[in-house]
Amino acid sequence: MKLDQSRLEYYITPEQAAKQLGLDLDSIYQLADEGKLQAAVMTDGSIGINQISVNNLLPKEALPEYQLNAGLKGVPISINEAGRKYKLNTSTLTRWMQRGLIHQLGKEGRKTLLDEADVAYCARVYRQNSGQGKWAFDDSGRPYKK
């Protein structure tokens, strides 16, 4: 019988979860009490925090999809230029900016300047999750999962 490792759950200590999320231990325990972090009592009696539930609370900037273009963080790109470069409709880019998925870095005359790392991330997620009637992003700007 072959073991399916993709189904194995991986637990970390509350201290490790706190470090990954940049929180104190009390906040980790509170998130576990609220059900936002999945916790379990391990065989040795210690508390374990499910790594997947920690990953689900990380900001989008910590995701591998975002890290692929992290070098573009803070690089300004106009909406029109971003539309051409990433083959996206400018109304889509504007909507993502209004939702807070893409940060506006400022204006240059009448041009709105966007953060190119955010644009590249959104374009990648949109292409992975696209399809008529499908959501690309959840409310926190992470790739939407059913």
pLDDT in tens, 49-58: 998 899 888 8
At 132, the pLDDT band (50, 70, 90 cuts) reads: low
More confident of the two residues 62 and 114 = 114
Q: Is the residue at 99 inside a domain?
A: yes
Beta strands in 31-82 (DSSP E): 39-41, 47-50, 76-78
The two tokens of residue 83 are: 């539309």
Among 92, 72, 75, 74, which residue's Cα sits nearest to residue 83?
92
CATH code, domain carrying 90? 1.10.1660
Instruction: Work out the average pLDDT over 24-43.
Output: 94
Record the pTM.
0.70
pLDDT at residue 142, as a whole number: 77
- 83-97 confidence digits (pLDDT tens): 999 999 999 999 999
Beta bridge pairs of residue 40 = 48
Residue 124 lies in a domain: yes
Residue 44 is assigned to a structural domain of this protein: yes
| Partners of residue 21 on adjacent β-strands | none
For residue 98, give both structure tokens.
């209004």
- Number of domains the chain is built from: 2
51/69 same-domain check: no
Q: Please tell me whether residues 53 and 74 are part of one structural domain.
A: no
Domain extent at residue 44:
8-58
Using the predicted structure, report yes or no on whether residue 135 has a pLDDT greater than 80. no
Of 24-28, 37-41, 82-86, 142-146, the one with minimum mean pLDDT is 142-146
66 plus 125 within the same structural domain: yes
Among 146, 135, 143, 130, CA closest to 60: 143
